[in-house]
Amino acid sequence: MPYQPILATLAYVLSKDKNKILMIHRNKNPNDFHHGKYNGIGGKVEPDEDVLSSCKREIWEEAGINCLDISLRGTISWPGFGKNGEPWFGFIFIVNDWSGDVVADNHEGTLEWVSIGEVLSKNLWEGDKYFLPLVFDSSKRQFHGVMPYHAGKPISWDYHFGD
């Protein structure tokens, strides 16, 4: 059977001074699968768009800003991650520059600037703690990993750096 994950983007928007990242605190809907979690900005790729366009659209819809400098940091396959155990495949971006005014909140939650040094202390998906250091690694090497989930928790993590 072919692997048919849900394609998604996940972006970490850097503050103008490069010391903080924009996170969404998913606190609006108690029935939200992500309720209570802090996450980057992102969502599902639509059938008529490429991953970069999807990422930019999600950032505009969720934060009200336009991306000026965005780069792919890596990819992650998340078998079993979804609410009903469906697989997800994410393209992880970092936004180095942007224009506009960040909105205070959206239909999913409150937007907050979080210090890069403090992000791992937030209520994240457990698996985020494994790959976030790679997103902000100074080497800027792309990573490509797989993180199977079972019952809402990662059961392993393996990655490689691209050449």
Banded model confidence at residue 96, pLDDT cuts 50, 70, 90? very high
Q: What is the rounded CA–CA span in Å between residue 143 and residue 133?
A: 11
6-161: which CATH number, 3.40.50.300, 3.40.50.740, 3.90.79.10, 3.30.70.20?
3.90.79.10
Please state, in angstroms and rounded to a whole number, the distance separating the CA atoms of residues 135 and 100.
Answer: 24
Q: Centre a 10 Å sphere on the Cβ of residue 66 and count the other Cβ atoms it contains.
A: 13
**In angstroms, how far is CA 54 from the centroid of its own chain?**
12
pLDDT band at 29 (very low <50, low <70, confident <90, very high): confident
Q: pLDDT tens digit string along 62-77?
A: 999 999 999 999 999 9
Is this structure's pTM higher than 0.75? yes
Other Cβ atoms closer than 10 A to 30 = 7
- List pLDDT tens digits, range 30-89: 887 889 999 999 999 999 999 999 999 999 999 999 999 999 999 999 999 988 999 999
Residue with structure tokens 């994240």?
Answer: 124
Distance between terminal CA atoms of the chain?
30
110 alpha-carbon distance from chain centroid:
15
Q: Is 104 helix (H, G, I), strand (E, B) or coil?
A: coil
Rounded to the nearest integer, the mean pLDDT of the chain is 95
Give 28's pLDDT tier (boundaries 50, 70, 90): very high
Of 95 and 83, the one with more pLDDT? 95
Q: Domain-by-domain residue ranges, the chain?
A: 6-161
Length of the chain in terms of residues written: 163
Q: Which residues contact 68 (CB under 8 A, 6 or more apart)?
A: 97, 98, 99
pLDDT of 131 above 80: yes
